[in-house]
């Protein structure tokens, strides 16, 4: 037990690491401060969607340093929590030993067709859904962390 960092490590995974997992990474970092080390990755990484950056910045959430990464960048590392945020990523996610596996299914805002305003509205909706889920998860996780392991 000695020498183990008090900061919990979290990896959020979706398919392209372009929208949902990027939102979750930035939101959780912002909400949790120094409590967690937060990363995100994709099973088939592409690039961060411009509307992802826009909806995060609307909330005043820092976006510098966000980049699309592949899960292979994190193989061999250990995480306390591995959270998949889309069904396809859950099926293709490599195993990260020792971490608690969590799955939340969110719709893909990148797949929405329509005007820029319609797309932006959907990105905001998904961002808010992710933020709500993270707030709840964070409150439960921090409460359990303060209480300590159950004997």
86 is a catalytic site residue: yes
118 is a catalytic site residue: no
Catalytic residue among 71, 86, 126, 130: 86
141 is a catalytic site residue: no
SS3 sequence, the chain?
Answer: CCCCCCCEEEEEEECCCCCHHHHHHHHHHHHHHHHEEEEEEECCCCCCCHHHHHHHHHCCCCCCCCCCCEHHHHCCCCCCEEEECCHHHHHHCCCCCCCEEEECCCCCHHHCCCCHHHHHHHHHHHHHHHHHHHHHHHHHHHHHHHHCCCC
d(C-alpha 68, C-alpha 57), whole Å = 17
For the packed helices 20-32 and 116-147, what is the interaxial angle rounded to 10 degrees?
A: 40
Catalytic residue among 93, 126, 131, 134: 93
Catalytic residue among 10, 12, 14, 41: 14
Residues with a catalytic annotation lie at 14, 86, 93
């Amino acid at each position: 037990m000695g020498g183990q960092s008090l900061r919990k490590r979290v990896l959020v995974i979706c398919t392209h690491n372009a929208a949902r997992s990027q939102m979750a990474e930035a939101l959780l970092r912002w909400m949790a401060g120094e409590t967690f080390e937060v990363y995100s990755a994709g099973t088939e990484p592409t690039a961060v969607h411009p509307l992802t950056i826009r909806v995060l910045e609307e909330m005043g959430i820092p976006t510098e340093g966000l980049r699309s990464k592949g899960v292979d960048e994190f193989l061999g590392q250990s995480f306390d929590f591995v959270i998949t945020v889309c069904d396809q990523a859950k099926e293709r996610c490599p195993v990260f030993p020792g971490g608690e596996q969590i799955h939340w299914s969110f719709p893909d805002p990148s797949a929405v067709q329509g005007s820029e305003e319609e797309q932006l509205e959907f990105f905001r909706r998904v961002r808010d859904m992710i933020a709500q889920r993270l707030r709840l998860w964070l409150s439960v996780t921090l409460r359990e962390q303060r209480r300590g392991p159950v004997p």
